[in-house]
Amino acid sequence: MLAVAFPGFSPELISFLEQLRLNNNREWFQAHHDVYQTCYVDAAREFVVDMGPRLAELGDHIHAEPKVRGSIFAINRDIRFSPDKTPYKTHLDLWFWQGDGPSRERPGYFMRVDPEQLTLGAGMHLFNDAALCAYRAALQDPARAQTLGEAIASLNDEYTLGGQTLKRVPQGFPGADDGLLRHTGLAASIKLDAHDALEPALVETALHHFRRLTPLQQWLLGILPS
């Protein structure tokens, strides 16, 4: 039997996320758990299964695990150290990391669906200590710095570059780009209309933007310690 291509997420997913914003509590969530399971978890699994083999077009060892806490982020929020005590996220996050090691310590491709927007991107939102050291060292290498500059320039301002969190440039990195030195993570993304997530072309749309972001992704992959 031929596999059925992912048809796009259901409008019920958008409705569920909208209502969750207004009723972010355990009682409402439990009362609508069947919708969560069908439109959020099961649909996300189908997307990951469909997307997984296609990711080989972008490079080797890209992980697509169709499970919660694999490529599907858990909807529960970690509220232990947060002043915001709402228990649930009001978006769907998917993550396809590349290379061996813990998924949060690798660069990868990501997708987020919220009631207003579909976000597609690639990179690392936050470097760990070893990755930050490798990143700053790479910025001092003229060849690597030039390759990164070309990867960023190829995005033609269509994508937003994220990860610049420092107000001041760290000392001790002569010759490196001051703007890039203020990054403690490096990722680029584009925001589309949420209804693009409902289209049968979603997998192709995601792959199109992931391809555009592959030079940035591969640069990060190349500078990380093995």
CATH of the domain at 83: 3.30.930
Domain that holds residue 114: 11-223
Average pLDDT over the chain reads: 95
Whole-model pTM: value is 0.95
Taking residues 75-79, report their average pLDDT: 93
Q: Give me the number of domains the chain comprises.
A: 1
Phi and psi for 216 in degrees, rounded to 5?
-65, -45
**What pLDDT does 175 receive?**
82
Taking residues 59-67, report their average pLDDT: 97
User: What are the pLDDT digits (tens) for 80-124?
Assistant: 888 989 999 999 999 999 999 899 999 999 999 999 999 999 999
**What pLDDT does 82 receive?**
86
Q: Has residue 188 been placed in a domain?
A: yes
Percent of the chain with pLDDT over 90: 89
User: What are the pLDDT digits (tens) for 8-50?
Assistant: 999 999 999 999 999 999 999 999 999 999 999 999 999 999 9
Concatenating the DSSP letter of every residue in the chain gives -PPPPP----HHHHHHHHHHHH--SHHHHHHTHHHIIIIIIIHHHHHHHHHHHHGGGT-SSB----SBTTTB--SB---TT-S----B-SSEEEEEEBSSS-GGGS-EEEEEE-SSEEEEEEEESS--HHHHHHHHHHHTSHHHHHHHHHHHHTTTTSSEEEEE--SSPPSS-TTS-HHHHTEEEEEEEEEEEGGGGGSTTHHHHHHHHHHHHHHHHHHHHHHS--
Structure tokens at 91: 């978006």
Q: Has residue 6 been placed in a domain?
A: no
Pairing of strands 117-124, 92-97: unpaired
**What pLDDT does 186 receive?**
98
**What pLDDT does 225 receive?**
81
Q: Has residue 192 been placed in a domain?
A: yes
Q: Has residue 4 been placed in a domain?
A: no
**What pLDDT does 1 receive?**
38
**What pLDDT does 2 receive?**
45
**What pLDDT does 4 receive?**
63
Q: Has residue 1 been placed in a domain?
A: no
